[in-house]
Amino acid sequence: MPARSKASITQRSSSPHPANVHITPLPIAGALLLQPDVYADERGYFKELYRTDRYEELGVTAPFIQDSLSSSKHGVLRGLHGDPQMAKLVQALQGEAWDVIVDVRPESPSYLRWHAEYLRGDEHRQIYIPAGCLHGFFVTGEATLMLYKHTMLYDPAREFGVAWNDADIAITWPLDRATPILSTKDAAHPTLRERGFAIPSQRKERGQ
């Protein structure tokens, strides 16, 4: 397991405005790792989960119109899910998950590459996932709450799924069991090849 990142936490006695957001581009084209400032004192902490003007300055310009929350126990794997029109901003509010993005946009320079980051409730990090990418996560903590912000309303007719263990993607999930806990729907997703995606015969390194 990689070393835990250090959240940006400032000791302060009053609520600050505006807070800063620190940004790191990820290897997936258009994907971002965001670290909001967190202000802590003897009472606890304060942070801004999202602020339109601040995120627009960082390049996250599409409006978010739906929030969703999932609760998962240890060993659950959710994914891989995609929507050609929906971008997401995801974060762990509680617990810990290994969060994965897979680029399945044929025109993208990072096509078929995947990248993963640990998201932990006490580290306050967020991942921006561009529209058209696949997303999934494996719960490595206990009682993990994941918050998703969506730029489109959820539409099951537009969503598509891909097998979590697709050999052409070859994600090295940090599994601590032979088989993760999957929904019936996620267990039945087809592979990229079965969905008709082009798989180049020669490809660059696929992992993180």
Q: Which residues are catalytic?
A: 81, 148
Q: How far apart are CA 59 and CA 89, in angstroms?
A: 13
Q: What SS3 class is residue 51?
A: coil
Strands 160-161 and 114-120: unpaired
Tokens encoding 180? 């993760």
Cα→Cα distances 12→17, 34, 38, 122, Å: 12, 21, 10, 18
Alpha helices in the chain (DSSP H): 52-57, 184-187
Please give the sequence-ordered ranges of beta strands (E in DSSP) within 26-161, or none if there are none.
32-36, 38-41, 44-47, 66-72, 77-82, 88-94, 96-102, 114-120, 126-129, 134-139, 144-150, 160-161
Q: How far apart are CA 45 and CA 50, in angstroms?
A: 16
